A and B are shown apart, each in its own frame.
Chain A
Amino acid sequence: MSMRLYAVFIYIFLYAPIALIAFFSFNAGRYAMDWQGFSLDWYGKAFTNPIITKALVTSLIIAGCTSVIATTVGTLCALGLERMRGSLRQLFDALIYIAIMVPGVVIGISTLIAFVTVFDAVNPALEAIGMARLQMGLWTVIAAHVLFNLAVVVLIIRARLAGMDRSLVEASEDLYATPFATFRQVVLPALMPSILAGLLLSFTFSFEDFIIAFFVAGPNTTLPIYVFSSIRRGVTPEINAIGTTVLLTSLALLVLAQFLLRPSAKAR
């Protein structure tokens, strides 16, 4: 019984802050912890504020590109690593763990230094032949995000590959399917759930990331960068409105995904 009480306490602990954010998104006043009555104004203001909508679009583009590239490259890498033995494979294993272990702040710093060094070296030459200078932009954030998420995707896909039923692959090969046909008809469908998980996870990590983008986004503002700077400046409930909308959207997508995936699960 006391365990149940403890569980209730923990769930309150987990959800009270979120409830607080959602609650104050409906505040008519502009100050935190100062309830002035119910209002939906901040939702209207947030979604007509050009800085916020631009930051939101920037974050969606970065997270979209990151998740697709990281999942593609990561899946290919996991498939390749499975065919490899020896020291090269150990090298890749080490790189994957290093990519996960190195803190975001160090990834941000090291990619910043690397980009700046390359830009300084290449830009004079580019200018000389009349081409545009290289500079920080969405692509630098995407590149740094892919690096981190790539490692996560490889681990997810690899776990699935390890648990896969080999006899299906062998059967397909015995029936003279080409390696590509075997991949498309046997391996890919079996990997699908993990590929989707990889997409979802890398999208979330990229959309949520503050620290890497803080270093390599250049003049661009992502949503977390905007939220961070407004927390330091003093927040208006616009931020609460955006946060609540993002939470509700992701919950709706989660429920929708459950709903869409259910029939196929039954068929199996």
Chain B
Amino acid sequence: MPQLAPISRSKTVTALLVAPAGLFFFFLLVLPLIVVVIYSFGARADAGGYAPAFTLDNYANLPARGQAFFNTLTLAPLGTLLTALFAYPLAYFLAVKASPKSRTLLLVLVIVPFWTSQLLRYYAWIMILGSKGIPSWLAYLGISDLRIINTPWAVLIGAVYGFLPLMVLPIYVSLEKLDKRLLEASADLGANSWRSFLQVTLPLSLPGVATGSMLVFILLMGEYILPQLLGGGKVFFIGNALVDLFLQSRNWPFGAAVSTALVAIMFVTIVIYMRFVLSRGDVRRAALV
């Protein structure tokens, strides 16, 4: 990146430009996160809230919320995987098969659902998956007693539904950049279309899949609304445990320990994932373009 000319590089101006953001980050991110870590070593005050102490009890107590950790750590990766599986063919269709004229419109149509309240869209799924929805239609076909709502399946359907657009866009971008001559070359060398896809298209589009998966995984790990509405309190995530600990049972130190554990798990997973992605030279080159 070329440097700006020296004339405009006053240190004071630079400091003034970043100072407001710095203040926001310091007072609303760094300091609060430090306070959360400090709280996680504290004790619960009798009336709820926090009492100063230094104890590891809150961390020792984490297995008490083991089910929430288990649900989050299984359903978030599974939801990410399913979203990628459903998004890929659509992104492929948009980037490769759709006519250039309709492509823009079709892309916009992928994003428009984001303009409706997320809460309302999940509410619609409560109706669709609820007893008056799909299960009642299936009952006509003789499949009775099928319960979808408030099961892990409902949460997974909601995850695919809610995050599909976020996955389609990065995959679309990586497929669109793909040099079509590579496919011709592959065909000329006698590969059939399925083999060309596996050996040329798919590897070259992996950076898009990696970006999209990262995005969806981060959002799913911290979900509260989705398990609350479609899991109906039976399939709960760490986010639901946190709301309960802070707003209902008011055990702030334990909640702080759960928060710290959640952020630590996310951080470690993301670092490992980045290492893995970055260790693949082809993916790295394309991802950083």
Real complex partners, A and B?
A: yes
Residues of chain A whose beta carbon lies under 8 Å from any beta carbon of chain B: 3-4, 6-7, 10-11, 13-18, 20-21, 32-34, 73-74, 76-77, 79-84, 92, 95, 98-107, 109-114, 117, 143-144, 146-147, 150, 154, 162, 166, 169-170, 173, 179, 182, 204, 208, 210-211, 214-215, 223-224, 227-228, 231, 235, 239-240, 243, 246-247, 250-251, 254
* Residue in contact with B18 in the complex, picked from A15, A77, A144, CB distance below 8 Å: A77
- Tell me if B224 is interfacial: C-beta within 8 Å of chain A: yes
- B187–chain A nearest beta-carbon distance, Å: 18
- Contact, CB under 8 Å: A110 / B116: no
Nearest B-chain residue to A247, judged by Cβ: B116
CB pair A6 B128 closer than 8 Å: no
Q: How many residues of B contact A (CB 8 A)?
A: 85
A111, B92: Cα distance in complex, Å: 41
Q: Which of B25, B225, B262, B263 has the most CB of A within 10 A?
A: B25
B203 within 8 A of A: no
Besides A105-B239, A210-B119, A246-B115, 5 more A-B contacts (Cβ < 8 Å) are A17-B128, A20-B124, A83-B4, A106-B259, A227-B120
B41 CB to nearest A CB, Å? 14
Interface residues of B in 219-237 (CB under 8 A from A): 219, 221-225, 229
**Distance A169 CA – B1 CA, assembled complex (angstroms):** 13
Q: What are 10 pairs between A and B in contact, CB < 8 Å?
A: A3-B92, A15-B113, A18-B121, A92-B21, A105-B259, A111-B32, A113-B256, A114-B28, A179-B7, A215-B246
A103 lies within 8 A of B221 (CB): yes
Contacts of A113 in B (CB 8 A): 32, 35-36, 39, 50, 252, 256
Inter-chain contact A101/B267, CB cutoff 8 Å: yes
- Give Cα A215–Cα B247 distance, bound, in whole angstroms: 8
Residue of B nearest to A105 (CB): B239
Check A92–B222 contact: CB distance below 8 A. Answer: no
Most chain A CB atoms below 10 A, which of B36, B92, B116, B225: B116
A69 CA / B145 CA spacing, docked (Å): 52
Taking the closest CB of chain A, its distance from the CB of B38, in whole angstroms, is 9
Using Cβ atoms and an 8 Å threshold, which residues of chain B touch A7? 89-90, 93-94, 98, 106
- With A114-B35, A208-B118, A243-B120 as known contacts, state yes or no: A92 contacts B18, CB within 8 Å: yes
